[in-house]
Chains A and B, each alone.
Chain A
Amino acid sequence: MKRPVLVRRHRPLRGGQPLAFAVGLILALAVGAVLLMAADHEPLRVYQRMFEKSLGDQNAWSLTLNRAVPLGLAGLAVAVAGSMGLWNIGAEGQILAGAIGAAWVARIGGTWPGPMLLTGMLVGAVIGGGLLALVPAMARARIGVNEIITTLMLNEIALRLLQWLIHGPWKDPDSYNFPLTPVLPAQAHLPTLFGRAHFGVIIAGAVILVFGIAASRTAWGYELRVAGSSADTARYAGISLKRKILTVLLLSGGVAGLAGGVELSGTADRLTEGISNGFGYAGIIVAALALMRPSGVAAVALLFGAVQVGGQSIQIIGVPASISTILQAFILFGAIGAGVFVRYSLRLVPTGVDASGEGGTAA
């Protein structure tokens, strides 16, 4: 008798992650096809439409790029913290806080000239997101409170803060009692690049590029990775862990906050409850698929942007947009499943080699 056992490879399979990603994509499309057929839709027709409406022409690309902006920034936020072994689960709340910060600047600076107002809004967004990350950052750096739960809880807190603002103090008096703020001033919109694509694409691209360089080419990025892999080594090398944790989580919050500001000034015309659309949670999947690397984040964000835009486009032919949510989750599950074999190989071991003979990691 033999039993299967996962054995760690000496080094991960080369080119394994893109391969795992492809496996995830194929698995997701296969599962999606089954679900579509179960509801009497033709998978090929649906997928073709999703592809055409997200990547088929210039206009489709502009929509996909716009979607990739908040996904990429949220993914980057998670990845920045993740490269140091920290989990920022609070990107969703930080996006909302960023949007609140930007909207607040737009409220007080309604008469400012465009460039000044937009700059102010984006700065307000970064500060808003950073402020929301402040408590988890301080608690983690000073007394070692696990940041996973604190950032998670703050998502719900930020959502309720936003709800309170748009139901109460910031509510548009002419909204017929709908929870909305008044529309933003005309000059509070980011300029358009082509099609529907707005300037946020350049902002997000630049921010991701800067972090990519900082992470891989600077001493700061190197220290992050050292601190992430071994706290003891970091201490020995004279790296201040507390300061690193604090700055990284605040930066992470600020980047996510920026996503909220860009989303508000780029695609929305006012602050509503649905300003984020789950970008913060999707960003965690994006970062995980990208193995916490900024360059990967950009690529995965584009793909997810396309899936989301495609998902919206099929509603018109009667397919629920939730199919794109399912696709995204299955891309990740497929990729983590396949990713195991990038790091491990499957061996058949005779039973009885292990004295206890049961359990272990038999897969």
Chain B
Amino acid sequence: MIGLLVATVSFGALLYLAALGELISEKAGVLNLGVEGMMAMGAVSAFMAAHQTGNPWIGLVVGILAGALTGLLHGWFTVVLGAEQVVSGLSLTILGLGFAAYMGKNVVGRPPGAVLAPVDWGPLTDIPWAGPVLFGQAPFVYLAVLVGIATWFVLSRTRAGLALRAAGESASTADAAGHSVVGLRLCAVGIGGGLAGASGAYLTLTLTPQWAEGITAGRGWIAVALVIFGAWRPGRAAVGALLFGGLLALKTRLQTFGVDFSPILLSMLPYVSTIAVLIAISVRARNRPSPAPAALGTAYRREER
């Protein structure tokens, strides 16, 4: 049972990191369906860097940079050139998965050069229940918590966050207020890519410390779903991440609990519940405004406003 809770937090952080990235990007008005591709790029780059240098932290940094660069490709096409966000994002997924497979061809199945092991909190780890669940985790879990709090704070409590949200709600207003919509959006997409890359690095540096094609296994789509499930709010997304993370953790443990239910069918739940939430949001939106950023998915050209 403790194992289940530990895995819930662990998987939850994996999803949360990528979801926060997507949330930041969407808050600025850019839908990026390339999460899966950015994760794969982060995963393979982090693994290869750690393999080469033997230092997992260099792996993490390289993974974040790879994710950010991949994300900025989407930013260049959609924000600067005004291409369709849906098409560009999906192509990014295809490109990222293909590129990662090509890059990582020679390290498939190799032992990791270095792993990011759980942080040692000393006596705290020995506290029953809370010890292993909260203090026996890999650095990524604490990174996810920190980024979550920072995202909430910056978005809702700072001028920069206000400007970023304005770019996503009404780009022409943000522009008129003297903000660079292109700059804000590129920044958001880059950060979003970096967080997806960090999530990918978590996979290959800690969770399953090796590289294999398809290692992201659709988790990028769950991250996209989480943003909607959490109604574009970092706090609610954290709750959703724990729920969906719990489902991922439960998937492999159903049989040990003696429950006769297909783990495959169980893994449908995140997607089914996201559709349900989306429908609920739309039904409620008849009376109150939708939580989705108003300018989400639209390109902004000053000359055509």
A residues at B contact (CB < 8 Å): 5-8, 35, 39, 87, 89, 135, 139, 143-146, 148-150, 152-157, 159-161, 163-164, 167-168, 278, 281-282, 284-285, 288, 320, 322-326, 328-330, 332-333, 336-337, 339-340, 354, 356, 358-363
Residues A333 and B95 in contact, CB atoms below 8 Å apart:
yes
B81 contacts A by Cβ under 8 Å: yes
Are the CB atoms of A156 and B271 closer together than 8 Å? yes
Among residues of B, the one whose C-beta sits closest to the C-beta of A359 is B180
Q: Decide: B95 and A326 in contact? CB cutoff 8 A.
A: yes
- Asked whether A153 and B102 contact (CB < 8 A) given A89-B86, A285-B87, the answer is no
Answer whether A361 and B182 are a contact pair too, CB < 8 Å, given A8-B303, A153-B271, A153-B275. Answer: yes
User: Which residues of the partner chain B approach A6 to less than 8 Å between Cβ atoms?
Assistant: 82, 301, 303
Q: Is the CB of B221 within 8 A of A329?
A: no
Shortest Cβ distance from A5 into B: residue: B303
Question: Which residues of B, 177-235, contact A by the 8 Å Cβ criterion?
Answer: 178-183, 213, 218, 221, 224-225, 228
Query: How far does the alpha carbon of A360 sit from the alpha carbon of B297 in the complex, in Å?
Result: 17
| Assembled-state Cα–Cα distance A8/B82 (Å) | 12
**Which 6 pairs of residues, A with B, have the shortest CB-CB distance?**
A325-B98, A359-B180, A329-B95, A360-B302, A322-B101, A153-B271
CA of A322 to CA of B101, assembled, Å: 6
CB-CB under 8 A from A278, the residues of chain B are: 94
Asked whether any CB of chain A lies closer than 8 Å to the CB of B134, the reply is no
Does B84 interact with chain A (Cβ within 8 Å)? yes
A349 (CB) vs chain B CBs: closest residue: B303
Can you list 27 contacts pairing A with B, beta carbon distance less than 8 Å? A6-B301, A6-B303, A87-B86, A139-B278, A145-B278, A145-B282, A148-B31, A149-B278, A156-B221, A156-B268, A157-B271, A164-B265, A285-B87, A288-B84, A288-B87, A320-B105, A322-B105, A323-B98, A323-B102, A325-B97, A336-B88, A339-B83, A356-B176, A360-B302, A360-B303, A361-B303, A362-B182
Whose C-beta in chain B lies nearest to the C-beta of A284?
B90
CB of B259 within 8 Å of the partner chain: no
- Answer whether residue B73 sits at the interface, using C-beta atoms and an 8 A cutoff: yes
Give the docked Cα–Cα distance between A242 and B80 (Å). 34
The answer to whether the Cβ of B272 comes within 8 Å of any Cβ in the partner chain is: yes
In the complex, what residue of chain B is closest to A321 when comparing beta carbons? B101
Q: Which residues of B contact A333 (CB under 8 A)?
A: 73, 77, 88, 91, 95
Would B180 and A358 count as touching, CB distance under 8 A? Answer: yes
Residue of B nearest to A138 (CB): B279
CB < 8 Å neighbour of A163 from B82, B176, B264, B275: B264
Q: Report which of B86, B275, B300 forms a contact with A150, defined as CB distance below 8 A.
A: B275
Task: Establish whether residues A359 and B179, one from each chain, have CB atoms under 8 Å apart when the complex forms.
Answer: yes
Q: Are A329's CB and B86's CB within 8 A?
A: no
